[in-house]
């Protein structure tokens, strides 16, 4: 059985890093980890080919070669997924679909032969067994969560690692918290399920053996969901692993209570972590109460961010406007918070209600659901009727984004961060591509770009005050260029739509 694994294309979005990747000549930020894992679950003797449309084109020859196409994706890849499915149909190739997009909206895709939903560890074996018997059902789904200690290591051989800026691995799934707008607990459960430290080391070894020396993103919903296991098993193993090798920088996602545990932060830094994404959402206590973000309440959020930065972890953050409780003053307050926090990569979106969340149910009961989520968190759309009124919300959102991503304020924030940040233990290696990126950025941003004044200002400040962060300053400048382009693009798209 010849299997074609297909990963749809992302539109240009905040997290696509499209305009930043050009500087380092990479095609995509991260690999399609779900499909690489599926690849490892399929019978070894089946020939497999993976086409990540973010990296390469899907050809008619690929379609003609295969017996089945396995497609994955997230909501943001919906359009590309539809196109791929249509091409498969035209080529008479049966499609099997799974992953987050299809698990949440399989009823929107008519031309898929089989949906293998939820976690494939649970649903793929019965599907494969039925397929062999010749009577596979249309839908396989389950309310149960798997034990990820049985999840195989991703089949790295299916991709060309050089095309990606970072690799990813997954240590745990699930989150102990219960935020009203988040579908992680519906999709992956409350009790964090973890792989063993040995599994993670084996996965890292797999990457290292394939000569990967770049950054690795731990794609956990909340990396610190089980602090005991981290401190006693995984982090000591990672610290040892880094000692034995050329060091590899790690990043991940966690909740703000990380700031309450200096020992944990210290161990994470020792283990090679340099960046952590945190859902900050809002500085407004009432809005935090509204969305049940307990872990962010009753604390000095700004100080918590600083504590994490001072420990050697860069904080990237998610913010939301459009809570029921929000008044038009929220935009200024968010700007103030973001600027003071030194969170350079600040992803701000409108409150959305993804299917499967408690917010979705509440909005439905209140008759305020209007659409499905676009999956693009900075396109200024929402699938709910906001209390503030959609026009006021969009206008405030637009001015907030223009403010924080203007060269003046973006670089000001980067400087605030560089002042606070403690040097991490492990540093991203300066390879030839990165050196070229410095050169390209000094031309693109330092000569042609409208941010040229701020660009040279931050580089000279860093050179004289914190020279160890020069490469980081250039990276932040490149990210800023990407975020600004995305904001401009989304603004134009919004104007065109209205």
Other CB atoms within 10 Å distance of the CB of residue 431: 12
Among 1, 33, 40, 237, binds ligand B12 (CB under 6 A): 33
Q: How far is the CB of 4 from ligand B12 (least distance, A)?
A: 11
Can you read off the two tokens belonging to residue 104?
Answer: 């949440």
The two three-digit tokens of residue 341, written as one number: 């926090």
Determine if 352 is a binding residue for ligand B12 (CB under 6 A): no
On whether the CB atoms of residues 318 and 14 are closer than 8 A, the answer is no
Nearer to ligand B12, 35 or 438 (CB): 35
Contact with ligand B12 (CB under 6 A) among 80, 166, 183, 454? 183
Which residues contact residue 212 at a Cβ distance below 8 angstroms, ignoring those fewer than 6 apart? 161, 167, 248
**Interface map 229-268 toward ligand B12 (x if CB under 6 A):** ----------------------------------------
Q: Which of 23, 70, 469, 483 binds ligand B12 (CB under 6 A)?
A: 70
Q: Which of 121, 93, 116 is nearest to 106 (CA)?
A: 116
Token pair belonging to 483: 């975020």
Applying CB under 6 A, which part among 8-16, 128-136, 321-329, 330-338 lies near ligand B12? 8-16
Q: Burial, 294: exposed, middle or buried (Cβ in 10 Å; 0-12, 13-18, 19+)?
A: middle
Does residue number 221 form part of the binding site for ligand B12 (CB under 6 A)? yes
* Residues between 407 and 466 with contacts to ligand B12, criterion CB under 6 A: none
E strand spans, 273-355: 273-281, 314-321, 346-350
Binds ligand B12 (CB under 6 A): choice among 4, 19, 20, 34: 34
User: Could you tell me what percentage of the chain is helix, strand and coil, using 3-state DSSP and rounding each to the nearest 5?
Assistant: 50, 15, 35
Q: If you ran DSSP here, which 8-state letter would residue 165 be given?
A: S
Residue closer to ligand B12 by CB (options 74, 392) is 74
Contact of 129 with 144, CB cutoff 8 Å:
no
Q: How far is the CB of 13 from ligand B12 (least distance, A)?
A: 3
Given candidates 75, 359, 388, 474, which one binds ligand B12 under the rule CB under 6 A? 75
Task: Assess 84 for contact with ligand B12 (CB under 6 A).
Answer: no
Q: Which lies closer to ligand B12 via its Cβ, residue 338 or residue 415? A: 338
- Most distant CA pair in the chain, distance: 70
Contact (Cβ atoms closer than 8 angstroms) between residue 213 and residue 162? no
At 433, list the tokens.
């591509």
Segment contacting ligand B12 (CB under 6 A): 166-174, 234-242, 424-432, 433-441?
166-174
If the CB atoms of residues 131 and 385 are measured against ligand B12, the closer one turns out to be 131
- Quick one: which segment of 28-36, 300-308, 429-437, 453-461 binds ligand B12 (CB under 6 A)? 28-36
Q: Which stretch binds ligand B12 (CB under 6 A): 24-32, 401-409, 443-451, 460-468?
A: 24-32
Contacting ligand B12 within 389-408 (CB under 6 A): none
Name, in order, each residue with C-beta under 8 angstroms of 166's C-beta and a sequence gap of 6 or more: 29, 30, 214, 215, 216, 217, 251
Nearest to 249 by CA among 488, 424, 69: 424
Residue 377 makes contact with ligand B12 by CB under 6 A: yes
- What's the rounded Cα separation, in Å, for the pair 449 and 123? 50
With CB under 6 A as the contact rule, the residue among 48, 66, 88, 173 that binds ligand B12 is 173
| Residue 16 near ligand B12 by CB under 6 A | yes
With binding defined as CB under 6 A, does residue 32 bind ligand B12? yes
Nearer to ligand B12, 101 or 414 (CB): 101
By the 10 Å C-beta count (0-12 exposed, 13-18 middle, 19+ buried), 186 is classed as: middle
Closest approach of ligand B12 to the CB of residue 387, in Å: 23
Q: Examine residue 37 and tell whether it contacts ligand B12 (CB under 6 A).
A: yes
Nearer to ligand B12, 183 or 307 (CB): 183
Among 8, 13, 167, 306, the residue binding ligand B12 under the rule CB under 6 A is 13
Count of residues near ligand B12 by CB under 6 A? 44
The closest residue (CB) to ligand B12 is 98
The site map against ligand B12 for 88-127 (x = CB under 6 A) is --------xxxxxx--x-----------x--xxx--x---
Query: Which residues, 6+ apart, have CB-to-CB distance to 97 below 8 Å?
Result: 70, 71, 72, 81, 85, 106, 109, 112, 114, 115, 116
By CB under 6 A, tell whether 48 contacts ligand B12.
Answer: no
Mode of pairing for the β-strands spanning 250-254 and 273-281: parallel
Which residues, 6 or more positions from 8, have their beta carbon under 8 angstroms from its beta carbon?
53, 71, 72, 73, 77, 79, 80, 81, 83, 84
Nearest to 313 by CA among 467, 417, 169, 167: 417
Q: How far apart are CA 329 and CA 322, in angstroms?
A: 11
Nearer to ligand B12, 100 or 313 (CB): 100
> Of 165-173, 205-213, 243-251, 287-295, which segment contacts ligand B12 by CB under 6 A?
165-173
The reply on whether position 187 binds ligand B12 by CB under 6 A is yes
Least distance to ligand B12, CB of residue 34, Å: 3
Residues that bind ligand B12 (CB under 6 A): 10, 13-16, 29-35, 37-38, 70-72, 74-76, 96-101, 104, 116, 119-121, 124, 168, 170, 173, 182-184, 187-188, 219, 221, 375, 377
């Amino acid at each position: 059985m010849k299997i074609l694994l297909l990963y749809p294309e992302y539109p240009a979005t905040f997290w696509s890093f499209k305009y930043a990747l050009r500087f380092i000549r990479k095609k995509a930020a991260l690999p399609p980890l779900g499909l690489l894992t599926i690849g490892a679950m399929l019978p070894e003797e089946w020939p497999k080919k993976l086409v990540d449309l973010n990296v390469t084109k899907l050809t008619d020859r690929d379609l003609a070669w295969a017996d089945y196409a396995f497609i994955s994706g997230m909501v943001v890849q919906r359009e590309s997924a539809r196109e791929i499915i249509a091409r498969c149909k035209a080529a008479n190739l049966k499609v099997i679909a799974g992953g987050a997009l299809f698990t949440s909206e399989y009823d929107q895709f008519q031309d898929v032969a089989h949906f293998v939903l939820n976690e494939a560890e649970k649903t793929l074996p019965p599907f494969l067994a039925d397929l062999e018997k010749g009577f596979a059902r249309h839908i396989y789904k389950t309310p149960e969560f798997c034990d990820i200690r049985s999840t195989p290591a991703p089949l790295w051989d299916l991709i060309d690692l050089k095309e990606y800026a970072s690799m990813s691995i997954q240590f745990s799934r699930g989150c102990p918290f219960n935020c009203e707008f988040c579908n992680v607990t519906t999709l992956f459960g409350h009790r964090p399920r973890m792989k063993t430290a040995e599994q993670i080391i084996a996965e890292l070894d797999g990457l290292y053996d394939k000569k990967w020396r770049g950054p690795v993103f731990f794609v956990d919903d909340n990396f610190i969901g089980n602090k005991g296991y981290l401190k006693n098993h995984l982090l000591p193993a990672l610290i040892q692993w880094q000692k034995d090798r050329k060091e590899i920088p790690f990043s991940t996602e966690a909740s703000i209570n990380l700031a309450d545990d200096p020992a944990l932060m210290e161990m994470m830094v020792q283990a090679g972590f340099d960046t952590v994404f945190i859902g900050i959402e809002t500085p407004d206590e009432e809005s935090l109460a509204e969305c049940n973000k307990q872990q962010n309440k009753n604390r000095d959020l700004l100080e918590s961010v600083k504590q994490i930065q001072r420990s050697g972890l860069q904080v990237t953050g998610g913010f939301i406007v459009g809570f029921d409780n929000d008044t038009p003053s929220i935009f200024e307050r968010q700007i103030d918070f973001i600027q003071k926090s030194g969170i350079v990569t600040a992803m701000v979106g409108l409150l959305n209600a993804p299917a499967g969340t408690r917010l979705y149910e509440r909005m439905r009961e209140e008759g305020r659901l209007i659409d499905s989520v676009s999956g693009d968190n900075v396109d200024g759309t929402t699938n709910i009727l906001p209390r503030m009124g959609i026009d006021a919300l969009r206008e405030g959102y637009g001015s907030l984004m223009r403010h924080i991503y203007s060269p003046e304020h973006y670089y000001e924030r980067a400087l605030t961060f560089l002042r606070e940040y403690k040097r991490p233990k492990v540093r991203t290696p300066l390879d030839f591509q990165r050196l070229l990126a410095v050169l390209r950025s000094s031309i693109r941003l330092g000569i042609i770009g409208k941010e040229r004044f701020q660009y040279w200002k931050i580089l000279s400040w860093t050179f004289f005050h914190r020279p160890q962060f020069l490469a980081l300053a250039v990276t932040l400048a490149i990210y800023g260029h990407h975020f600004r382009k995305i904001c401009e693009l989304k603004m134009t798209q919004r104007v065109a739509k209205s």
